[in-house]
């Protein structure tokens, strides 16, 4: 059934011979900073409505499910809504647009296709809203060539229209270029003395035509009387939805009011929303998110997770492996418990208390039940863990494989299928990431994995380690090879799986609540003015651009669409770092910090696009020197008395708003209000800090290295200036007890040793210095004193550790930077060792103790007494072996494991844990990697030298070199490094022919079978040797019991075996090891029973 | 004995009693660690107890349906049977030991992990349900107890408990009515030979008393009525710290074996004159998990030569003159004290009998062997005497079951701290203490 071709009766958008028409999936590479609109045509084919009704009848057939689902529909509309006698006030969450026929009643003068803005949202009563906004047209600007009169403009219009017609042959619009208006505007770039220039506003029919029109103008156009002329376009890269929001003063997630009488109920409902109506864009009232309108509507948040039955040795693939379970939890925003919990399973599943279990016989039914569920429950936000890259595309591709054409109708628009496309997202902040973009119309997707990667630096982003980190809970992890076994078992084993699946669906919701993502992201959207969906899927720059566009609009400025210059513009000198005087400081070190340094500099020196004076202008304009600032990097900017910069103004607003939010936060009592305010102040802070980066992003929207290099040059100057002032003023000559010394300075902080012994005195001096130096800077640049480090271990630049004090009585915490306490490539041993050493050095002030601890650890390592789980190194397998250029240990191991057992071998995307084992002489490092479980099971000796040399020595030396004279000799060589030699693997070669014989437990001498335990010499030490054996057994038993019962606690069931194979869990290997050690210890003990 | 003959005309003859060991369920012979987990012991326990509770349910609440947790329906009153699990905020977690950041604050006080927010859930092999209501107090129950509950599922998906049924005291074999004579069993625990608080003279006095080397004729007459001695755990304290995986220096070798040798010498004296049962305890050179296996005979080259010397398991069950005695070296009760509350140790002991389970907290917080098809701690027959070693104070009580069962409960104090041994009269199950003091000041 080629329903897809039926789906788009309208000719697909031009230029692309739309692959979207063939399949709901197509390929597009979009970079962070390339914003492209995509026109989607509205379906109004009658046959499709029929098809839709057929589907609904289909639901009728499955009345049982329908009944279950109906319970969860949204609250019914009140009479006032039904009669349209009241205005509709709702919080919008998603804004997009669609191409449809222009509205005949609202816009009697237009005809043909037009872009219709759709706003989706929720009222405070919980009704879903779909608002079709008409009359807003896409446009952009060009600079009007001098001498162009009204006649020239209309001629220009005709020429442009003709050119557009050639390019957009397929569009069925009566007119491509609707009109061209002459306006007085000014470019944001460079300081100009004239207040305005003539600009042409070119209004086109459809959003995508902005791009094609820009292309024509870029390439050049022949105009009579002006010749061939190419134009620089302005604001031609603004997404249509964002353009609409800017022009209507709508910010992401704010409340919108459509007054009664100004809206018309749609003749035919195109969406599943309760309130669906048409209105004119000029009738919308956008409420600023303040006071009453800072609240949140009761959105429905769906958190879900799917399970698939993979084949042995393969990660599940949608064209082979069935979806067997889908678990769903729906929570109303602001409530702490989900009000719907259910799970849909393939084949029978035993009931679960408090959960609605829906079992189906076919996969088709499971998928369709989920679709019906989505439609009935109508979630506003869909969350999950890795849903964007895995769960959602999987469901859609699976449905495609099974030929269920009616499945991917998950959006709020009837008949509209979900679209999946592969995207590559690259950003300076996060590097390049491949991902999939799934468009579900009207519903916001929030992938917790993306949010985590964006907002937090963690050593691992598995759901397990994320929940361990934020919720302090270990998550049970069932290996995908076991999932199929559970599925193929009975109703009970499937229930087991369902419980696991539900847990995985609940964790994202709990993370969302715990980290207040909804509040923080909605506030971020409100502050920066972009839709919420942009925040996760796009980079930082759109947020700044949105603010810049809003501000420019107020001032009559327009922003040029600068050609992506690549890195041609070159780079500039970054922040300065004062040379670190490495050492261990046992006197308090005061830290002087510049409060938001870069924003302050931009404000203080009025740095902006519109205040920058070009070198030619600087010569020509002859500006009086008191009106300009010459930056240390040699640029000229005018002062605010001539022209106030836009960026400084944005920053000022952000910073004042943050101050206000912080003040309100202090006053606030209600926890929900607090959450909103805290989210807001955080959003404001992040936004203020991203402005500088925006100007320096060379592949960004509007790079201006003159600004960014000026900012950093001022920053450098200030650090130097501070150093000089401190060292000049705080001297014995100046009447102080000691000479102050600046030992280190980073981007925005300076570390000073005032020479005093106690923290309080250092704090007083720090405060005095901050105040004194602040006085020498232009406002609002301010040096603040916040903390003292005491003691302080400075290793090198960007690497230090110290105890942090903010009050003189007690230190707050141990603060480290750039030291191996969190690196994820290292084994746990390194982390533990470093943390323990720092603890001993800084808190216990026991350097000999730290040295002894290191020696003991090294000795334990060399004597093979180290717990294996401490030695596990983990690396992500991103490609298969052939794709790697150099052989890497974890890749080689993955290959070897695949040969051993394809079912449990790691796949691309998994993290591969390994240990380095002793191997034959001359073996390459990558050949020495081995699976920790395999090592445990086969008693393979590890290679302690590798760990000593390649893992722990560097971090240790870094810490100890400032402290000890001969750190390397002292720590890494010496009596404690005399190791017991461990024989290399003995289960190979000649050893296979050796006969095993009992040895005396006491002295390892060979004994006969008759003697059983001890040789005649050791007989006298029987009691002692027995004690030794039995104490070992008792220790193993204790460990065994505690480890395995912990896993029972974690999985939340006593009567079922633990299945978890979470390699991220700190006790996973220990648990396995305990099992094996226990068996061995017991065997030893049994030799005594006679 | 020769000395007695000279001193008196009447030759005192030590009374004899029949003895049979019932330790078999506690012995681990062929069982090994083959990767089995703890789910099986819970399963075995639930199975045993459920059969029992199901048989009691019709008498307890006739007409009410019995169902599994899966079959619960909202607002329908019914009876469910399952294993309790207690969620405890303060319960120490091994994950913290491995993954915690080093913190300056110390861990919670080690003797009790209760918290007002603790909650109970009930689990059977079909699922778990959160329990609510004030009938079932989380402070009394612990993880691992199997009970029957009457109640109904609430809107929140909890099970509102209205009544609780415990298994109650197990049936007891009536001891024969024929008149008995005074015969005594002596219980000692916590000798801690070699420990810092142990006093060798005190122990020697006890031995001399038991063996009849002390006091006048009357006293010796009483001593002659002692038919059995039970050492309920922690008989020896040896420096475990020495065993760190390295070879011992010869000086340390003797430090390690000295206390055990000393104990052997003491025990040889006892074994030479009357039957002696020695049970392992938490500090003895024995394994850690319950049931603890008999102390190896190689530790006692002297005393083990006598056939009166019996090295037993912990828990230990035996019959003397058809009186059934059951006891432990104290771990089961000490663990209950960490995770629940009672007015005294006797109450904990009584609870374990009513729950028909010697050590319900195994394996959750108390180590135990991962049995596959049985739960040896299930009490199927009510003992006449139930003793627990290594307690702070001597306490005793006689409790009565609903079917006329009579059980003597005894808390045996630590001998090294109190100098107290407990004497039980088999005739009437009466108890008294023997105190030994060695103060030289008076």
Q: What is the DSSP letter of A645?
A: -
Q: How confident is the model at residue A7 (pLDDT cuts 50, 70, 90)?
A: very low
d(CA B14, CA B28): 34
Q: What mean pLDDT do residues B250-266 have?
A: 82
What residue of B is the nearest CA neighbor of A1045?
A: B364
Closest CA to A546 of A376, A694, A375: A694
List CB contacts (< 8 A) between B35 and chain A: 1075
Size of interface A-B (CB pairs under 8 A): 157
d(CA A829, CA A203): 65
B-contacting residues of A 822-851, CB under 8 Å? 835-836, 839, 843
The reply to whether residue B42 touches residue A1054, judged by beta carbons under 8 angstroms, is yes
DSSP string, B298-349: GG-TTGGGSTTEEE--BSEEEEETTEEEEEESSHHHHHHHHHS--SSHHHHH
Complex-level ipTM: 0.89
Q: Which of A701-705, A711-715, A881-885 has the lowest mean pLDDT?
A: A881-885
The reply to whether residue A1024 touches residue B285, judged by beta carbons under 8 angstroms, is no
The reported pLDDT for the residue numbered B106 is 47
The reported pLDDT for the residue numbered A324 is 92
Strands A783-796 vs A799-805: parallel, antiparallel or unpaired: antiparallel
Among A428-442, A591-605, B174-188, name the most confident range: A591-605
Q: How confident is the model at residue A3 (pLDDT cuts 50, 70, 90)?
A: very low
The third-level CATH classification (topology) of the domain covering B39-165 is OB fold (Dihydrolipoamide Acetyltransferase, E2P) (2.40.50)
Out of A1032, A1035, A1041, closest to residue B363 by CB? A1041
Closest CA to A700 of A570, A859, A567: A567
Q: Which CATH architecture has domain A139-245?
A: 2-Layer Sandwich (3.30)
d(CA A781, CA A593): 11
Per-residue pLDDT tens digits for A514-553 = 888 888 888 888 888 898 888 877 777 888 899 999 999 9
The reported pLDDT for the residue numbered A10 is 38
pLDDT value at A28 more than 70: no
The hierarchical CATH code for the domain A819-977 is 1.10.132.60
Q: What is the token pair recorded at B82?
A: 């399952």
Strands B119-124 vs B127-132: parallel, antiparallel or unpaired: antiparallel
Q: How confident is the model at residue A941 (pLDDT cuts 50, 70, 90)?
A: confident
3-state secondary structure A519-560: HHHHHHHHHHCCCHHHHHHCCCHHHHHHHHHHHHHHHCEECE
Closest CA to A5 of A22, A27, A17, A20: A22
Query: How many CB atoms sit inside 10 A of residue A651's CB?
Result: 27
Region(s) of chain A under CATH 1.10.132.60 = 819-977
Asked if B413 and B190 count as a contact pair (C-beta separation under 8 A), the reply is yes
Sheet of A628-630, strand order: A612-613, A636-638, A628-630
Q: What mean pLDDT do residues A68-73 have?
A: 72
Distance from CA of B363 to the nearest CA of A (A): 7
Q: What is the token pair recorded at B190?
A: 């916590």
Region(s) of chain B under CATH 2.40.50.430 = 39-165
**Can you point out the beta strands (E) in A616-748?**
628-630, 636-638, 741-746
d(CA A191, CA B273): 113
Q: Does A1084 touch chain B (CB under 8 A)?
A: no
β-sheet bridge partners, residue B83: B123, B146
The reported pLDDT for the residue numbered A59 is 53
The reply to whether residue B364 touches residue A1048, judged by beta carbons under 8 angstroms, is yes
Q: How confident is the model at residue B440 (pLDDT cuts 50, 70, 90)?
A: low
Per-residue pLDDT tens digits for A724-750 = 988 888 888 888 888 888 888 887 888
The reply to whether residue A1079 touches residue B299, judged by beta carbons under 8 angstroms, is no
Residue bearing the bigger pLDDT, A686 or B440: A686
Q: What is the token pair recorded at A225?
A: 């009387």
The reported pLDDT for the residue numbered A121 is 93
User: Where does residue B183 fall: left (phi above 0), alpha (psi -120 to 50 degrees), or beta otherwise?
Assistant: beta
Asked if A831 and A819 count as a contact pair (C-beta separation under 8 A), the reply is no
Region(s) of chain A under CATH 2.40.50.730 = 62-135+248-294
**Residue A85 burial by Cβ neighbours in a 10 Å radius (0-12, 13-18, 19+):** exposed
The reported pLDDT for the residue numbered A33 is 46
Torsion of CA B349, B353, B356, B361, to 10 degrees: -10
pLDDT value at A895 more than 50: yes
- Distances in Å between the alpha carbon of B153 and those of A330, B57, B149? 22, 19, 12
d(CA A809, CA A803): 13
**Residue A255 burial by Cβ neighbours in a 10 Å radius (0-12, 13-18, 19+):** buried
User: Where does residue B283 fall: left (phi above 0), alpha (psi -120 to 50 degrees), or beta otherwise?
Assistant: alpha
The reported pLDDT for the residue numbered A806 is 87
The reported pLDDT for the residue numbered A874 is 80
Among A382-396, A560-574, A661-675, A953-967, name the most confident range: A382-396
pLDDT value at A131 more than 90: yes
Asked if B313 and B267 count as a contact pair (C-beta separation under 8 A), the reply is no
The reported pLDDT for the residue numbered A813 is 83
The reported pLDDT for the residue numbered A89 is 94
Q: Does A1041 touch chain B (CB under 8 A)?
A: yes
d(CA B97, CA B91): 12
B-contacting residues of A 316-355, CB under 8 Å? 350-354
The hierarchical CATH code for the domain B2-30+172-240+249-330+378-435 is 3.60.21.50
The reply to whether residue A1046 touches residue B42, judged by beta carbons under 8 angstroms, is no
- Distances in Å between the alpha carbon of A689 and those of A464, A826, B28? 32, 32, 68
Q: Residue B293: which residues within 8 A CB-CB, separation 6 or more?
A: B27, B28, B280, B286, B287, B313
The reported pLDDT for the residue numbered A928 is 84
Q: Does B289 touch chain A (CB under 8 A)?
A: yes
Q: What mean pLDDT do residues B151-174 have?
A: 87
d(CA A342, CA A328): 5
Q: Does B257 touch chain A (CB under 8 A)?
A: yes
The reply to whether residue A1058 touches residue B296, judged by beta carbons under 8 angstroms, is no
Q: Does B253 touch chain A (CB under 8 A)?
A: yes
β-sheet bridge partners, residue B146: B83
Q: What mean pLDDT do residues B69-91 have?
A: 85
Overall CATH class of domain A62-135+248-294: mainly beta
Q: Does A1027 touch chain B (CB under 8 A)?
A: yes
pLDDT value at A24 more than 50: no
Kindly report the average pLDDT of chain A as a whole number.
81
Q: What is the DSSP letter of A909?
A: T
Q: Does B157 touch chain A (CB under 8 A)?
A: yes
Distance from CA of B382 to the nearest CA of A (A): 27
Distance from CA of A1041 to the nearest CA of B (A): 5
The reply to whether residue B32 touches residue A1082, judged by beta carbons under 8 angstroms, is yes
β-sheet bridge partners, residue A592: A750, A785
pLDDT value at A320 more than 90: no
The SS3 call for residue A503 is helix
- How large a percentage of chain A has pLDDT more than 70? 85
Strands B184-188 vs A381-384: parallel, antiparallel or unpaired: unpaired
A-contacting residues of B 20-49, CB under 8 Å? 32-35, 37-39, 42-43, 46
Query: How many CB atoms sit inside 10 A of residue A421's CB?
Result: 20
Query: How many CB atoms sit inside 10 A of residue A571's CB?
Result: 11
Q: Does B233 touch chain A (CB under 8 A)?
A: no
Q: Residue B84: which residues within 8 A CB-CB, separation 6 or more?
A: B120, B121, B122, B123, B141, B142, B143, B144, B145, B146, B147
Check whether domain A299-515 has CATH 1.10.10.10, yes or no: no
Per-residue pLDDT tens digits for A249-258 = 999 889 999 9
Q: What mean pLDDT do residues A661-670 have?
A: 84
The reply to whether residue B39 touches residue A1067, judged by beta carbons under 8 angstroms, is no
The reported pLDDT for the residue numbered A985 is 43
What residue of A is the nearest CA neighbor of B295?
A: A1030
Q: Which of A418-422, B23-27, B60-64 has the lowest mean pLDDT?
A: A418-422
Among A567-576, B57-66, B177-186, name the most confident range: B57-66
Out of B123, B256, B299, closest to residue A1055 by CB? B123
The reported pLDDT for the residue numbered A541 is 82
pLDDT value at B442 more than 50: no
Distance from CA of B364 to the nearest CA of A (A): 6
Distance from CA of A296 to the nearest CA of B (A): 26
Asked if A385 and A304 count as a contact pair (C-beta separation under 8 A), the reply is no
Sheet of A929-930, strand order: A873-876, A911-916, A929-930
Out of A1023, A1042, A1054, closest to residue B94 by CB? A1042
Q: Which of A399-413, A824-838, B87-101 has the lowest mean pLDDT?
A: B87-101
pLDDT value at B386 more than 50: yes
Q: How confident is the model at residue A248 (pLDDT cuts 50, 70, 90)?
A: very high
Residues in chain B: 442
Superfamily of domain A562-815: B family DNA polymerase, palm domain (3.90.1600.10)
What residue of B is the nearest CA neighbor of A1089?
A: B296
Q: How confident is the model at residue B146 (pLDDT cuts 50, 70, 90)?
A: very high
């Amino acid at each position: 059934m080629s329903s897809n071709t039926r789906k788009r009766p309208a000719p697909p958008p031009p230029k692309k011979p739309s692959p979207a028409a063939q399949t709901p999936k197509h390929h597009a590479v979009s970079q962070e900073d390339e914003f492209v609109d995509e026109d989607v045509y509205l379906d109004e084919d009658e046959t499709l409505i029929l098809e839709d009704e057929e589907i609904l009848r289909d639901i009728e057939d499955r009345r049982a499910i329908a009944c279950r689902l109906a319970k969860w529909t949204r609250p019914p509309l009140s009479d006032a809504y039904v009669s349209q006698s009241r205005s509709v006030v709702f919080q919008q969450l998603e804004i997009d647009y669609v191409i449809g026929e222009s509205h005949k009643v609202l816009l009697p003068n237009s005809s043909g296709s037009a872009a219709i803005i759709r706003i989706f949202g929720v009222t405070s009563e919980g009704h879903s809203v779909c608002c079709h906004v008409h009359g807003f047209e896409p446009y952009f600007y060009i600079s009007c060539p001098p001498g162009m009169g009204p006649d020239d403009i209309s001629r220009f219009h005709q020429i442009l229209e003709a050119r557009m017609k050639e390019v957009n042959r397929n569009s069925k619009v009566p007119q491509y270029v609707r009109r061209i208006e002459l306006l007085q505007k000014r470019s944001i770039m460079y300081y100009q003395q004239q207040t305005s220039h003539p600009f042409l506003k070119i209004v086109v029919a459809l959003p995508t035509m902005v791009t094609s029109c820009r292309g024509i103008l870029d390439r050049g156009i022949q105009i009579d009387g002006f010749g061939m002329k190419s134009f620089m376009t302005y604001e031609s890269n603004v997404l249509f939805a964002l353009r609409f929001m800017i022009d209507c003063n709508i910010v992401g997630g704010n409340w919108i009011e459509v007054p009664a009488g100004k809206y018309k109920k749609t003749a035919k409902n195109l969406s599943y929303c309760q309130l669906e109506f048409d209105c004119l864009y000029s009738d919308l009232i956008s409420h600023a998110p303040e006071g009453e309108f800072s609240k949140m509507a009761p959105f429905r948040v769906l958190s879900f997770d799917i399970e698939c039955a993979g084949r042995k040795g393969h990660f599940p693939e949608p064209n082979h492996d069935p979806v067997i379970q889908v678990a769903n939890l729906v929570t109303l925003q602001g409530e702490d418990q989900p009000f719907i919990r259910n799970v849909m399973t393939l084949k029978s599943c035993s009931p679960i208390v408090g959960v609605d279990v829906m079992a189906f016989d076919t996969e088709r039914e499971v998928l369709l039940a989920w679709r019906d569920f989505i439609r009935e429950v109508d979630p506003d936000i869909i969350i999950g863990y890795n849903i964007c890259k895995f769960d959602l595309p999987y469901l859609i591709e699976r449905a495609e494989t099974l030929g269920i054409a009616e499945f991917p109708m998950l959006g709020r628009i009837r008949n509209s299928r979900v679209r999946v496309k592969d995207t590559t997202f690259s950003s300076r902040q996060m590097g390049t990431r491949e991902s999939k973009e799934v468009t579900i119309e009207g519903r916001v997707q929030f992938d917790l994995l993306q949010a985590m990667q964006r907002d937090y630096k963690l050593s691992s982003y598995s759901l397990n380690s994320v929940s361990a980190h934020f919720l302090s809970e270990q998550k049970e992890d069932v290996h995908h090879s076991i999932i199929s076994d559970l599925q193929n078992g009975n109703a009970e084993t499937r229930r087991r799986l369902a419980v696991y699946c539900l847990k995985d669906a609940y964790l994202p919701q709990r993370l969302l609540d715990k980290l207040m993502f909804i509040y923080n992201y909605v506030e971020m959207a409100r502050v920066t003015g972009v839709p919420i969906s942009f925040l996760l899927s796009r980079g930082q720059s759109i947020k700044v651009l949105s603010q810049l566009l809003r501000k420019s609009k107020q001032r009559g400025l327009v922003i040029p669409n600068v050609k992506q210059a690549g890195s041609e513009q070159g780079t500039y000198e970054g922040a300065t770092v004062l040379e670190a005087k490495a050492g261990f400081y046992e006197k308090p070190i005061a830290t002087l910090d510049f409060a938001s340094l870069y924003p302050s500099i931009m404000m203080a020196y009025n740095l902006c696009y519109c205040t920058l004076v070009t070198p030619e202008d600087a010569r020509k304009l002859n500006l009086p020197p008191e009106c300009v600032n010459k930056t240390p990097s040699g640029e000229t900017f005018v002062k605010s008395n001539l022209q106030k910069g836009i960026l400084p103004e944005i920053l000022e607003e952000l910073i004042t708003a943050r101050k206000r939010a912080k003040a309100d936060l202090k006053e606030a009592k209600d926890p929900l209000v607090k959450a909103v305010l805290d989210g807001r102040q955080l959003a404001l802070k992040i936004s203020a800090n991203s402005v500088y980066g925006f100007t320096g992003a060379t592949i960004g929207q509007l790079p201006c290295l003159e600004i960014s290099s000026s900012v950093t040059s001022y920053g450098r100057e200030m650090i130097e200036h501070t150093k000089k002032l401190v060292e000049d003023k705080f001297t014995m000559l100046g009447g102080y007890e000691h000479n102050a010394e600046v030992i280190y300075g980073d981007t925005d902080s300076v570390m000073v040793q005032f020479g005093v012994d106690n923290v309080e005195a250092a704090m007083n001096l720090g405060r005095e210095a901050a105040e004194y130096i602040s006085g020498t800077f232009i406002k609002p640049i301010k040096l603040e004193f916040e903390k003292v480090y005491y003691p302080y271990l400075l290793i090198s630049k960007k690497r230090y550790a110290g105890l942090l004090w903010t009050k003189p009585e007690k230190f707050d915490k141990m603060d480290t930077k750039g030291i191996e306490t969190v690196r994820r490539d290292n084994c746990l041993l390194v982390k533990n060792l470093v943390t323990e050493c720092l603890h001993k050095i800084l808190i216990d002030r026991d350097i000999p103790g730290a040295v002894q601890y290191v020696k003991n650890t090294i000795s334990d390592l060399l004597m093979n007494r180290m717990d294996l789980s401490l030695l596990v190194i983990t690396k992500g397998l991103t490609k298969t072996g052939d794709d790697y250029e150099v052989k890497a240990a974890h890749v080689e191991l993955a290959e070897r494991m695949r040969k051993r057992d394809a079912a449990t071998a790691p796949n691309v995307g998994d993290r591969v844990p390994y240990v380095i084992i002793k191997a034959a002489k001359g073996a390459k490092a990558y050949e020495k990697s081995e699976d920790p479980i395999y090592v445990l099971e086969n008693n393979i000796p590890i290679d302690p030298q590798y760990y000593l040399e390649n893992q722990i020595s560097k971090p240790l030396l870094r810490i100890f070199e400032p402290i000890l004279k001969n750190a390397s000799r002292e720590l890494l060589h010496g009596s404690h490094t005399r190791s017991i030699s461990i024989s290399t693997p003995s289960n190979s070669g000649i050893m296979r022919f050796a006969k095993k014989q009992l040895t005396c437990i006491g002295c390892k001498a060979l004994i006969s079978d008759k003697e059983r335990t001890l040789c005649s010499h050791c007989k006298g030490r029987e009691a002692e040797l027995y004690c030794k054996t039995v104490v070992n057994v008792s220790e193993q038993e204790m460990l065994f019991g505690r480890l395995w019962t912990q896993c029972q606690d974690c999985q939340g069931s006593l009567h079922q075996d633990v299945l978890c194979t979470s390699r991220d869990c700190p006790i996973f290997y220990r648990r396995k090891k305990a099992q094996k050690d226990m068996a061995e210890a017991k065997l030893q003990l049994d030799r005594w029973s006679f | 004995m020769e000395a007695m003959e000279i001193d008196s005309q009447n030759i005192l003859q030590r009374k004899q009693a029949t003895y049979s060991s019932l330790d078999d369920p506690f012995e681990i012979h062929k069982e090994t660690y083959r990767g089995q987990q703890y789910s099986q012991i819970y399963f075995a326990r639930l199975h045993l107890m459920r059969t029992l509770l199901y048989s009691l349910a019709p008498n307890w609440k006739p007409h009410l349906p019995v169902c599994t947790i899966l079959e619960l329906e909202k607002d329908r009153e019914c009876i469910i049977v399952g294993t309790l699990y207690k969620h405890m905020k303060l319960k120490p977690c091994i994950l913290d030991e491995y993954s915690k950041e080093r913190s300056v604050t110390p861990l919670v006080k080690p003797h009790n992990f209760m918290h007002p927010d603790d909650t109970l859930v009930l689990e059977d092999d079909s699922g778990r349900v959160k329990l609510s209501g004030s009938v079932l107090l989380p402070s009394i129950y612990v993880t691992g107890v199997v009970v029957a509950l009457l109640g109904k599922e609430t809107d929140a998906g909890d099970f509102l408990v209205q009544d609780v049924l415990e298994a109650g005291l197990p049936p007891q074999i009536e001891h024969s009515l024929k008149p008995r004579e005074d015969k005594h069993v002596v219980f000692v625990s916590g000798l801690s030979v070699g420990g810092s608080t142990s006093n060798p003279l005190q122990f020697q006095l006890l031995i001399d008393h038991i063996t009849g080397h002390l006091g006048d004729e009357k006293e010796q007459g009483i001593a002659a009525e002692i038919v059995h001695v039970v050492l309920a755990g922690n008989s020896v304290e040896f420096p475990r710290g020495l065993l760190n995986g390295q070879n011992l220096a010869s000086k340390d070798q003797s430090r390690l074996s000295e206390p055990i040798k000393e104990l052997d010498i003491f025990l040889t004296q006892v074994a030479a004159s009357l039957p002696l049962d020695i049970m392992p305890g938490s500090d003895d050179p024995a394994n850690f998990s319950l049931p603890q296996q008999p102390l190896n005979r190689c530790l006692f080259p002297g005393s083990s030569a006598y056939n009166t010397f019996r090295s037993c398991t912990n828990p230990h069950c035996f019959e003397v003159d058809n009186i059934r005695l059951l006891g432990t070296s104290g771990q089961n009760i000490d663990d209950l004290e960490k995770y629940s509350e009672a007015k005294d140790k006797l109450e904990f002991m009584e609870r374990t009998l009513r729950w028909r389970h010697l050590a319900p907290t195994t394996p959750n917080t108390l180590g135990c062997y991962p049995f596959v098809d049985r739960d040896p701690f299930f009490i199927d027959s009510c003992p006449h005497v139930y003793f627990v070693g290594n307690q702070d104070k001597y306490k005793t009580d006689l409790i009565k079951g609903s079917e006329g069962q009579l059980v003597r409960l005894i808390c045996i104090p630590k001998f090294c701290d109190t100098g107290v041994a407990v004497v039980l009269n088999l005739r009437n199950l009466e108890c008294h203490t023997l105190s030994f003091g060695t103060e030289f000041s008076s």
